[in-house]
Amino acid sequence: MKWLAFTVAMVMGTSVIAEEPLQYNRDIRPILADMCFACHGPDSAARKADLRLDKRDMAMSSKAILPGDPAQSEVIRRILSNDADEMMPPPSTRKVLSAQQKATLQRWVKEGAEYQAHWSFIAPTRGELPVAKNAAWVRNPIDRFTLARMEAEGLAPAPEADKRTLARRLSLDLTGLPPSPELVENFVNDASPDAYEKLVDTFMKSPQWGEHRGRYWLDAARYADTHGIHFDNFREVWAYREWVINAYNRNLPFDQFTIEQLAGDLLPEATLDQKIASGFNRCNITTSEGGTIPEEYYVLYTRDRTETASLVWMGLTTGCAVCHDHKFDPVSQKEFYELAAFFNNTTQNAMDGNVKDTPPILTVPAVADRVRFGQMDGLIVAAKQAVEQRKQTGRSEFDRWLAEVKPETATVSLPESGLQFRLPLDEGQGDALKYFVPGETRETKLTKPVEWKPGQTGAKAINLNQGGPAEFATVGDFDKDQPFSCGAWVQLPANDGAGAIVARMDDGNDYRGWDLWVEGRRVGTHIIHKWQDDALKVVSKNQVKANEWAHVLVTYDGSMKAAGAKVYINGELQQTNVQADGLKNTTKTEVPFKLGQRHNTSPLPGVTINDVRVYDRALTDAEVAALAKTSRFAALLAKAAAERTPAENDELYQWWLTAKDQPYQTAVVDVQKLERELADIKARGTIAHIMNEKPEPAMAFVLFRGEYDKRRDQVAPATPAALPPFPAEIPKSRLGLAKWLLSPEHPLTARVTVNRSWQELFGQGLVRTAGDFGVAGELPSHPELLDWLAIDFREHQWDVKRFYKQLVMSATYRQSAVTTKDKLEKDPSNRLLSRGPRFRMDAEMVRDYALAASGLLVTKIGGPSVKPYQPDGVWEAVAMIGSNTRDYRADKGENLYRRSMYTFWKRSAPPASMDIFNAPAREVCTVRRERTNTPLQALVTLNDPQMVEAAKALAQKTIKDAKPTQAERIDFLARQLIARPLRAEEQVIVQQSLAELAAYYIAHPEDAKALLGVGEMAIDASMNPHELAAWTMLTNELMNLDEVLNK
């Protein structure tokens, strides 16, 4: 193929070169794709007149095209026609062929109407390296390709950038951070021939290498810290992020990197790390919206995984084939679902449950706990066996007890000790409620309308729809260290409502007090001095069934720890999610105890309630079970022995064990101790979201128009026919798919991958549409170079560090970014690589740059996500009440200064300052970020407290560390920020700014003080406030330099 001429034409915008024969890929396909293929292309459903123009034989057999004879070719007749009924494209499409396009198509038919396969579906080949004239410029093979091309275009490379610029460029490209001034000076002064290479190696060895490379990958993996839809609650998935960073740092070859992420769980003897890697396919958005039809979301999750894998490894927009055959690329709808079948076999539930640990998950214990963690399962099994054993051996004792027990004396005792308050709520009518406090029965008036429904502990039960109808001044007045229990029978409606069953809580005063709480039919409690810094909150992991009676109860042991608050549903102790765990001060409040809501807010609409009880002590498990099952046991015991069924006797036996049998209770406590220890180990570690395959073979359905409920044929996993065949010897699983992607015959994987790397360093890929290598994507600017890189990468065992090193060692990369008028005209967007890369840094780098240059950056690697400064209300504006990512509370201390890749990423409201700089929402896979230049970005770097504080820190460092003259200080500042001293004309401007700022802050000490109060960092006592303020604003000015914001 004559790549050169063809890409010249593409880049330069001229179309057909007159003297040369037309080429299908260059000249014809773009016209046909734009004008014809939508109706006469691969999509069989949209095809009109059964005519296909994307295949030569079909176009010929239908006589649409007669090679060599435009006059007899129907296509040509139609495009030239002026008859509205005949002309093509039809007027209704509003597509119009230009006269030149018509002439081109005519000429092509005349020349024989030759077709070509789409370039990216043909495996790359390694040709001869091009010969360039200026051989001295060439440093490695990359340069031969770029230089030959420049020479053909009459362009010359830019001179090599100066050493400071190179040091800064390398540092930013290899670590994502600016270089330290010392490192720059060392490099400048190192005259050895391998000084540059040594610098490259230094950067690649630093752990920041893995962070920086990983950061790009996380866009592709759509990594974020929340589920994405509806509640958009927290998802604990950072173990995967850490895996990515480590993978780059240990230079895991890209083939292994691919296999472990697509199929780590399917590897034989998969290690903990390999399973964590499979979390790539768990990063998609999920829902738990009440009312959701599961199948609809199963389909969406599978579709997302299929599209993501296609985009990341093959650069294909297979999503276009969800509803119909792809309009341009050889991916039929059936083939899409065959590809989807690989991902359609997971045990994951459609509903994420709004919990942070949606199964399948894996515990990732802290390193120190790993041995003990390995033993825990066995210990717990043994302890449970002891419980089971007692179940066997206790039966005879129980039988004796049951034989002797007299029905009239055998009433099951309900816990009475410590009962502070009981509210039956079974009146069924009237405007008053009776209630019991120790020694007294009282009555209170209803203050709001209520309804009555069939009851659980009485004939009727109260139903609330208009807020809390009653209050009780003296009930539940507990302090932070006072144990208590509170429970009730409830029936909850099938919605996502959140609110209080009962509460003594002053919501107008930072929510002081406590409540018995429901959110999304999960039960829990808040015990609060001040929400949420000084508070406990636990909520059950399980939901109460909708529209069924359930007994719910919480106990609190006064320990001021979340572990001291337990939740029971129907007498069973629940696993809980801890959402706040730091109670320190009093929880007493003057507001009354209220039924059905907190003092002012949080009613629980639609709830039906019976028998509210408050105890001033923590009930035991057995007591709670008794409460939940009382009526049942009383009824069973009241029956004559002969009338009881064996199942009922078993039920009674179970109750007897928990309530009356000491050995059983001891055995149960042993299990509980071990389970608590395990819980503690888990709490110290984290979890990983992993893939887990169902036992049955994978399959999928073709879905008519992509709609989940319009199933058509069932299909098995397979790959598109236009790509290399799937070898028979590898399994039709995600593991097999990964291996297929990595096979040497595969035309896309290596090309797409090296193109993305190129894009990271040069700002745009050799194929600029990094996510579309199909027919609708752009053609490569340097096709032979792309092929050479792809083969080189694969043949060097997919060695990632080696590959990047090769790129940065090239002369092409080392060019200065200086642009001339001539180059701007011939090569406006530097597609010909006739100058060095220069572009605005990504969002994370902008912030990290400021933190690093100012010395505030905390370089710790990995760990959970952090919450740096963010303006108030960004989360609250979009989040649901009850979402655990509704209140953004900035962290304190070092978490304010971590690298931006660790910033907590809430999908429905991504980090505000990064969002403005084109960071994606991470809802779907992104392989190419936009790069806009807007006024809102200027506002971030000028005014974000994070940036202002960084300016303050750097100003203070400058005053402290530089020699105490103005010139020395300015020089120090410049070296920190732009890795070079200022030129004379720049110094004049900077000095003038400084003089104006200094004069202002001397005259306005109160403004100096206000400015220096920005950010948590305290200023040094030795600082002169007006001087520091002036330098802070000067630093702020310089941190906004185009040169700082650009790589």
Partner 1 sequence: MSIFDEYRNTLTRRHFCQQGTHLLGGAALASLMASGKPLTAATVGDAAKEHPAHIASRAKHVIYLHMVGGPSQMDLYDYKPVMQEWFDKDLPESIRMGQRLTTMTSGQKRFPIAPSKYKFAQHGECGMWMSEMLPYTAKMADDMVFIRSMNTEAINHEPAISYMQTGNQNTGRPCLGSWTSYGLGSLNEDLPTFVVLVAKPSNQEQVQAISARLWGSGYLPGEHAGVSFRSGPDPILYINNPPGVPKDIRRKTLDGLKALNELTYQQLGDPETNTRIQQYELAYRMQASVPDLVDLKDETENTEKLYGPDIHKPGSFAHTVLLARRMVERGVRFVQIYHNNWDHHGNLVGRMKDQTRDVDQPCYGLVQDLKARGLLDDTLVIWGGEFGRTIYSQGGVSKENYGRDHHPRCFTMWMAGGGSKGGTIYGETDDFSYNIVKDPVHIRDFHATVLHLLGFDPEAFTYKFQGLDQRLIGVEAAHVIPALIA
**Interface pick for partner 1 out of 819, 858, 862, 966 (rule CB under 8 A):** 819
Report which residue type is found at 118: H
Task: Give the residue with the Cβ less far from partner 1, 360 or 596.
Answer: 596
Round to whole Å and give the CA distance between 481 and 560. Answer: 6
By the 10 Å C-beta count (0-12 exposed, 13-18 middle, 19+ buried), 719 is classed as buried
In contact, 918 and 911? CB cutoff 8 Å:
no
Q: In the bound complex, what is the minimum distance in angstroms from residue 157's beta carbon to partner 1?
A: 16
Q: Which residues contact 1018 (CB under 8 A, 6 or more apart)?
A: none
Report which residue type is found at 931: R
463 binds partner 1 (CB under 8 A): yes
**Interface pick for partner 1 out of 214, 415, 774, 780 (rule CB under 8 A):** 774
- Ranges within 323-362 binding partner 1 (CB under 8 A): 327-328
Beta strands across the sheet bearing 470-472: 470-472, 593-595, 498-506, 512-519, 522-530, 534-540, 576-581
Task: Give the residue with the Cβ less far from partner 1, 555 or 781.
Answer: 781
Task: Give strand pairing partners of 594.
Answer: 471, 503
**Interface pick for partner 1 out of 83, 85, 94, 646 (rule CB under 8 A):** 94
Helices and strands of the chain, counted as H and E runs: 36, 21
Q: What is the DSSP pairing of strand 460-463 with strand 470-472?
A: unpaired
Task: Give the residue with the Cβ less far from partner 1, 475 or 997.
Answer: 997
- Ranges within 596-615 binding partner 1 (CB under 8 A): 601, 603, 605-606
Task: Give the residue with the Cβ less far from partner 1, 289 or 616.
Answer: 289
120 binds partner 1 (CB under 8 A): no
839 binds partner 1 (CB under 8 A): yes
Round to whole Å and give the CA distance between 136 and 626. Answer: 90
- Ranges within 155-214 binding partner 1 (CB under 8 A): none
> Treating both helix axes as pointing N-terminal to C-terminal, what angle do 646-660 and 395-404 enclose, rounded to 10 degrees?
100
The residue among 747, 742, 757 whose CA lies nearest residue 806 is 757
The residue among 265, 261, 209, 262 whose CA lies nearest residue 240 is 261
Q: Which residues contact 417 (CB under 8 A, 6 or more apart)?
A: 615, 617
**Interface pick for partner 1 out of 389, 495, 575, 714 (rule CB under 8 A):** 495
Q: Give the x/- contact pattern for partner 1 in 954-993, rule: CB under 8 A.
A: -----------------------------x-xx--xx-xx
Q: In the bound complex, what is the minimum distance in angstroms from residue 329's beta carbon to partner 1?
A: 9
Pick the stretch among 473-481, 587-595, 688-696, 874-882 that binds partner 1 (CB under 8 A). Answer: 874-882
**Interface pick for partner 1 out of 473, 818, 967, 1003 (rule CB under 8 A):** 818
- Ranges within 885-914 binding partner 1 (CB under 8 A): 907-910, 912-913
Q: Give the x/- contact pattern for partner 1 in 776-795, rule: CB under 8 A.
A: xxx-----------------
Tokens representing 172 are 């930013």
- Ranges within 988-1047 binding partner 1 (CB under 8 A): 989-990, 992-993, 996-997, 1000, 1004, 1006-1014, 1029, 1033-1034, 1036-1038, 1040-1043, 1045-1046
29 binds partner 1 (CB under 8 A): no
By the 10 Å C-beta count (0-12 exposed, 13-18 middle, 19+ buried), 611 is classed as buried
Count residues near partner 1 (CB under 8 A). 128
Q: In the bound complex, what is the minimum distance in angstroms from residue 827's beta carbon to partner 1?
A: 9
Task: Give the residue with the Cβ less far from partner 1, 227 or 898.
Answer: 227
Tokens representing 748 are 């896309």
Pick the stretch among 228-236, 662-670, 690-698, 747-755 that binds partner 1 (CB under 8 A). Answer: 228-236
38 binds partner 1 (CB under 8 A): yes
In contact, 470 and 447? CB cutoff 8 Å:
yes
By the 10 Å C-beta count (0-12 exposed, 13-18 middle, 19+ buried), 985 is classed as exposed
Q: In the bound complex, what is the minimum distance in angstroms from residue 340's beta carbon to partner 1?
A: 15
- Helix (H, G, I), strand (E, B), or coil: what is residue 903? strand
68 binds partner 1 (CB under 8 A): no
Pick the stretch among 122-130, 461-469, 611-619, 851-859 that binds partner 1 (CB under 8 A). Answer: 461-469
Task: Give the residue with the Cβ less far from partner 1, 677 or 923.
Answer: 923
In contact, 921 and 990? CB cutoff 8 Å:
no
Pick the stretch among 178-186, 432-440, 493-501, 628-636 that binds partner 1 (CB under 8 A). Answer: 493-501
**Interface pick for partner 1 out of 7, 246, 284, 287 (rule CB under 8 A):** 287
**Interface pick for partner 1 out of 173, 496, 611, 848 (rule CB under 8 A):** 496
Q: In the bound complex, what is the minimum distance in angstroms from residue 967's beta carbon to partner 1?
A: 17
Other beta carbons within 10 angstroms of residue 651's beta carbon come to 16
Round to whole Å and give the CA distance between 839 and 759. Answer: 11
Q: In the bound complex, what is the minimum distance in angstroms from residue 159's beta carbon to partner 1?
A: 13
Q: In the bound complex, what is the minimum distance in angstroms from residue 936's beta carbon to partner 1?
A: 7
Q: In the bound complex, what is the minimum distance in angstroms from residue 87's beta carbon to partner 1?
A: 17
In contact, 123 and 747? CB cutoff 8 Å:
yes
- Ranges within 663-702 binding partner 1 (CB under 8 A): none
**Interface pick for partner 1 out of 133, 406, 821, 963 (rule CB under 8 A):** 821
Round to whole Å and give the CA distance between 561 and 312. Answer: 45
829 binds partner 1 (CB under 8 A): yes
Task: Give the residue with the Cβ less far from partner 1, 879 or 896.
Answer: 879
DSSP string, 367-432: GGGHHHHHHHHHHHHHHHHHHHHHHHHTHHHHHHHHHH--GGG-PPPPP-TTEEEEE-----SSSE
Pick the stretch among 470-478, 677-685, 731-739, 771-779 that binds partner 1 (CB under 8 A). Answer: 771-779
In contact, 182 and 202? CB cutoff 8 Å:
no
100 binds partner 1 (CB under 8 A): no
Phi-psi region of 425 (alpha: psi -120 to 50; beta: other; left: phi over 0): left
Pick the stretch among 536-544, 802-810, 867-875, 955-963 that binds partner 1 (CB under 8 A). Answer: 867-875
In contact, 172 and 203? CB cutoff 8 Å:
no
Round to whole Å and give the CA distance between 215 and 245. Answer: 8
